[in-house]
Structure 1
Amino acid sequence: MTLPILLDIEASGFGRGSYPIEVGLARSDGSTCAFLIQPLDEWTHWDPKAELLHGISRGRLKREGYPVVEVARWLNDELSEAGIAYSDSWGYDNTWLSLLFHHAGMLPRFRLEALRRLLNDRQLALWKRTKEALIAERGIRRHRAGEDARLLQLTYLRTLDSTT
């Protein structure tokens, strides 16, 4: 079975002025990858509450993050063949993805869709409980982009199995 590709983005906070700080993918084969993003000089918004969630400091982003152009190029390389990735927070993730590509001076060669479009009513009913069970079973560390993308993919798979 080919799994849907899941994309997750961690950000500097929510709302006006926020920007992407990490992007992660769970590929169709179940492997994951994630990249920290170097903040641009004009990206100054920083929410300490968001940092408490994801545990990534602005200093670490400056030291270990990749330039926006490299991250955008990597996403296009990863996703152009499939042409699509899914997100459980489409409104936020699509906004941050657009910001990333805008500042990279590139266009995405894939589209981001809401994960909800893949789910039937039974999967939706099972989603929260299934996701919480997977977090407990696997000791998944939340609010890191690669881990969260894989968690969504595993939740999708288990709720799919529960519907047959």
Structure 2
Amino acid sequence: MTLPTLLDIEASGFGRGSYPIEVGIARADGSSCAFLIQPLTEWVHWDPKAELLHGISRARLAREGHPVDEVARWLNDELAQVGVAYSDSWGYDNTWLSLLFHHAGVLPRFRLEALRRLLDERQQALWKATKEALVVELGIHRHRAGDDARLLQQTYARTRALAQGSAAD
């Protein structure tokens, strides 16, 4: 089975003024990676509740984050050949991705689609329980972009196998 490429973004918060702080992908071969993003000076929104979830501080972003143009070029290098990546939070992730590319002055050479477009009804019914089981089984640290992208990809693979198995019964 060919795995879909998954993309996940962690952000400074939700809603107006929020911006991407980490982007991660899980590639079709099952490998994953992520980059912290250095906030631009005009990106000032910071929600302490979001920081509690992802555990990434503003100081760490300033120290270890990559410039927005570098992250946008990396995403294009990674995803242009694939053409499409999937997100489980398309509304948020697409907004943050657009913001990143806009400020980088670069056009994305791929598109972001909603993960639910790939899921049939059986997979959707199995999704939540399967995802929770995989968090424990794989020891995934939630709310980090690379790990979350990998978790989504593994959940997709497992629910697809389970759904196909039940369809064969």
Interval of TM-score (by shorter of Structure 1 and Structure 2):
over 0.9
TM-score normalized with structure 1 length: 0.99
* Percent identity of equivalent pairs: 81
Counterpart of 1:23 in structure 2 is: 23
Structure 2: runs of 5 or more not aligned: 165-169
State the 1:138 CA deviation: 1.5
Whole-angstrom distance in 2 between the partners of 1:138 and 1:118: 23
Aligned residue runs from structure 1 range 84-95, under 5 A: 84-95=84-95
Aligned residue runs from structure 1 range 58-137, under 5 A: 58-137=58-137
Aligned residue runs from structure 1 range 4-23, under 5 A: 4-23=4-23
Whole-angstrom distance in 1 between the partners of 2:162 and 2:2: 17
Counterpart of 2:148 in structure 1 is: 148
Structure 1: runs of 5 or more not aligned: none
- What secondary structure does 1:163 align onto? helix
Runs of 4+ in 1 over 3 A off after TM superposition: none
What letter matches 1:24 in structure 2?
G
State the 1:61 CA deviation: 0.2
Q: Within the alignment, does 1:48 sit opposite 2:48 as a pair?
A: yes
Q: How many residues align?
A: 164
- What secondary structure does 1:4 align onto? coil
Taking only aligned residues, the RMSD between alpha carbons, in angstroms, comes to: 0.4
Whole-angstrom distance in 2 between the partners of 1:122 and 1:142: 24
Whole-angstrom distance in 2 between the partners of 1:154 and 1:3: 9
